[in-house]
Structures are given as C-alpha cells and as structure tokens.
Structure 1
Amino acid sequence: MSRPVRPVLAAFTAECARLTEILAELADSDLDLPTDCHPWTVRDLVAHIRTGVGRLSDMLAAPAPARAEVDAAGYFGAAKFTAQVDADRIAGGQRDALRVDRAALATEFDRAWRATEAAVVAAPPDRLVRTRHGDAMRLTEFLRTRVVEVGVHGLDLAAALGRAPWLTAPAAAVIADLLTGGRPTPAGLHWDRLTLIRKSTGRAALTAPERAAVDAAGFRWLAFGR
C-alpha cells in the first residue's frame, strides 16, 4: 500500500521539534547518564538519533533505485541487526558522540532534521531511496522508520533522564500503525498507543496474560536494535 508522505512528515517534524526543545534544556551532567541502550550514554544516543534523522537528505541527493524492494516493516527485519551490524551501529554512535558539543546539541539536531524536512518537501512523493543497508524503499516508507527512530529512542532518553515520556500524538500514531501492521491491538489488551509502543519494542515487559493474548492473535513483532 502506498501511503501519502505528508502525514508521516508531519509526525516526523512534530517529534523532532519536541526533542529539540528537550535537548535545549539538558545540562552537561545529563549527557553522561547511562541509557537502557547499553553501552550508550545519553550523549551517545543523541548522536545516534541525530545521525538517523539526517540520513534522508543525503539519500535523496543520490540516484533513485529502479523499484522498491522493502517497506518500513521489512526494514526492521532481524537481518538488519546481526551481531556485526549491531556492533558497527553502537561504535558509530559513540564516534559521533565525540563530536557532540553540548552547547550546540539542540542546534545541530535541529539543523539535521530540518535538512531532512526540506529535502522531503522538495522531492516527488513517489520518490524511491536506497538505505545504508542497500535496500530500495519508497520515500514515505523510509520516513516512517525515521519516526520510529526519533520516537522510540525518545522514550529511551526520557527513561534515562527520569522524565515522563514526551512522545507526540502524530508520531505515536505512525509508530503504532507500523507496529501493528494497521491492525487493531489484539483482543483483551486495553493498551493506549504509548503502552503498545513500549510493550512491543521491549521498553516495558509483557505480563503472562498479555503474552498469551499476543501469541493467540499471531501478533508480529518487528526486530529492533537497542
């Protein structure tokens, strides 16, 4: 199914703008706090998110592939998170973090996501892009993965900072739709979108009854690298 790019872009910009506000409030000591994305600190995780939200501007500057090969759900396949890929991802985040200046943290992040926003607005809505993994995807589908990156890792940052989650409603809608494949939450689970996202990405543990309901429904879990 081909999705319109505008609602996904709106979710991306809303979540990135909210995170920019949070980053502007951080103190130096906040950046050294550990996160549940071991072994990353807050500084490392912010660097990873900044790199992730900025990828599309370069991808859109490259030649378009001939046809799409995967969608957003396929992007989060287990093959993307082999031990080597995961190790490279972790090391990359730590390298990027060495270049993060706290005083410019919010400004650099703001610049990265706004460059992506501008590139998406200028691109044809049916544009195809090639990911760093070599997959060919529709622009809208890759942008959905960026909403996941900034939204779900925003939950990780909130937990590390001891703050209430700040996940925006537009981003929560995009992420929940991706996680469920557009299907209703399994019967018997009275989850709001935030709970669905936390449970299905491993940010909150499933109870035994919840696990049974998920298994009975054949609910598909996506593979996420922490």
Structure 2
Amino acid sequence: MTGTVVDAFRAEADALGHAASRWAERDWARPTRCAPWRVRELFAHVRITLGRLPGMLAEAAPERAEVSAAAYYRPDHRFSPETDAARIRLAQDQAPGLDVRDFRGFATALADRCAAEPPDRVVRTRHGDAMLLTDFLTTRVVELAVHGLDLADALDRPAWLTPPAAGVVLSLLFGRPAADLPGPPDRLLREATGRAPVTLDLTGLRPLTLG
C-alpha cells in the first residue's frame, strides 16, 4: 500500500514524536482539553490507538470492507459513556510506564508495515468494523492530527500539523482538497472539530463523532 494516507501517517507521527522528545517533565503534567487527561495520558491514548494496528494486521482479512473512514465515526457504542470511561482508564493505566523515546521508531515501523500491504487490504477493528486498511489508517491520522492540536494547545506551543496530515483529515471532513478551503489548516481543523469558535466558512463540513 502506497500513497497519501501512509505518507500522512508517517509524517504526522514523526512530527508528534519529535515534539514530544523536547518536552520537559513539567510539560507532561499539564492539563488538556480532553479532561481528565493530562499531557502524558493523552499521549498514551494516541500511542494505544496506533498500537492496535499490528494485531489487526496479524489476523485474517475479512472478505470485504463494510465501513468507510467517515462511517467509523458514527455515534454508536464506540463513543458511549461506558466506552469513553474505559478509554480514559486505559490511558491512565498505561501513562506511568510511557517511554516517549521509542515513539518515532514505533510509528515508523507501523508505517513501513502498512506500506507493505496490498492496496485492497481489509482489516477488522476492535469495534468489529471491516474496513480497508487505507480507511482505518485515515482514522489514525485523525487521531494524530486532532490530538496533536490538543497537545500543542495544552503546552502553549505552535501546532506541528503537517501538510500531508492536514490534507487527509480536511478531505475527510469536507470532501475536497485542503487548498480549496479557507484559513490556516490548523485553525480550520480546530473549528471543524469544536476546538475553537467558528470564524471560518465551514460549508460542506461533515462532522465526525469524536470521543
């Protein structure tokens, strides 16, 4: 599998890993908008969401894809209070043992493994969805990009959103290229996901249910 989504995943994960490698210990304890998580727990959550990929690729592929990247974010049990509570606890449990030093290598290995898969590879998510790997990887780019903004804002740092990731996520949200959309991509993504007051033209936005 080659092309835009793998490139975006690789670029955005590397940018996050590079940024995180420079944070001081006090930075990791800063609160985020994703309460009750602090920076360390939110970073742990992102790593957890990426870490499910190897197990998915190790399983037999479903016969066909049934769910798109956009449909993955439908408002069902995956974003219920019970699921959210379990998601919160898992990140809190794993955060204390988090080793940021391996993140860039970990993400690079994941990107390489995905790139080696055929373009029609289908995987099954932990929620039971049969998806094209390219579509599931799109959802991982969403995790990296959106939570990357959450982390940058929590630390009062400039956003490190990469052009490839912005292109993938904004295309998912609006159905057209980022170059055709108004405003800086990081501002547009914040507004489109409810992370900032709306000041830009969001015509065509297809809102996603995000946990």
**TM-score scaled by length of structure 2:** 0.92
1:1-226 residue pairs with structure 2 within 5 A? Answer: 5-79=2-76, 80-100=78-98, 104-107=99-102, 109-182=103-176, 190-206=182-198, 214=202, 217=203, 219-225=205-211
Farther off after superposition, 33-42 or 48-57: 48-57
- Counterparts of 2:13 and 2:109, CA distance in 1: 12
Contact 1:185 1:191 in 2 (8 A): no
Q: How many residues align?
A: 210
- Counterparts of 2:156 and 2:168, CA distance in 1: 25
The one-letter code matched in structure 1 to 2:93 is R
The one-letter code matched in structure 2 to 1:138 is L
- Counterparts of 2:171 and 2:138, CA distance in 1: 10
Contact 2:170 2:178 in 1 (8 A): no
Deviation of 1:20 (Å): 1.1
- Counterparts of 1:203 and 1:171, CA distance in 2: 18
Decide whether aligned partners of structure 1 residues 185 and 203 sit closer, same or farther in structure 2, where only a CA change above 3 A counts: farther
- Counterparts of 1:185 and 1:120, CA distance in 2: 27
- Counterparts of 2:179 and 2:192, CA distance in 1: 11
Farther off after superposition, 190-199 or 59-68: 190-199
Deviation of 1:218 (Å): 6.1
Farther off after superposition, 176-185 or 63-72: 176-185
Deviation of 1:193 (Å): 2.3
Larger Rg: 1
The one-letter code matched in structure 1 to 2:175 is G
Contact 2:73 2:209 in 1 (8 A): yes
Cα-Cα RMSD: 2.0
Contact 1:13 1:117 in 2 (8 A): yes
The one-letter code matched in structure 2 to 1:124 is P
Partner SS for 1:98: helix
Partner SS for 2:21: helix
- Counterparts of 2:65 and 2:142, CA distance in 1: 20
Deviation of 1:91 (Å): 1.1
Q: Deviations over 1:184-203 (max 9, x none)?
A: 899xx833322221111111
- Counterparts of 2:83 and 2:39, CA distance in 1: 21
Partner SS for 1:25: coil
Deviation of 1:138 (Å): 0.2
- Counterparts of 1:73 and 1:175, CA distance in 2: 10
Decide whether aligned partners of structure 1 residues 205 and 220 sit closer, same or farther in structure 2, where only a CA change above 3 A counts: same
Q: Deviations over 1:63-94 (max 9, x none)?
A: 11111111110111111211111111111111
Decide whether aligned partners of structure 1 residues 221 and 185 sit closer, same or farther in structure 2, where only a CA change above 3 A counts: farther
Decide whether aligned partners of structure 1 residues 24 and 132 sit closer, same or farther in structure 2, where only a CA change above 3 A counts: same
- Counterparts of 1:31 and 1:219, CA distance in 2: 33
- Counterparts of 2:97 and 2:66, CA distance in 1: 34
Gaps of 5+ in 2: none
Query: Percent of aligned positions with the same letter in both sequences?
Result: 47
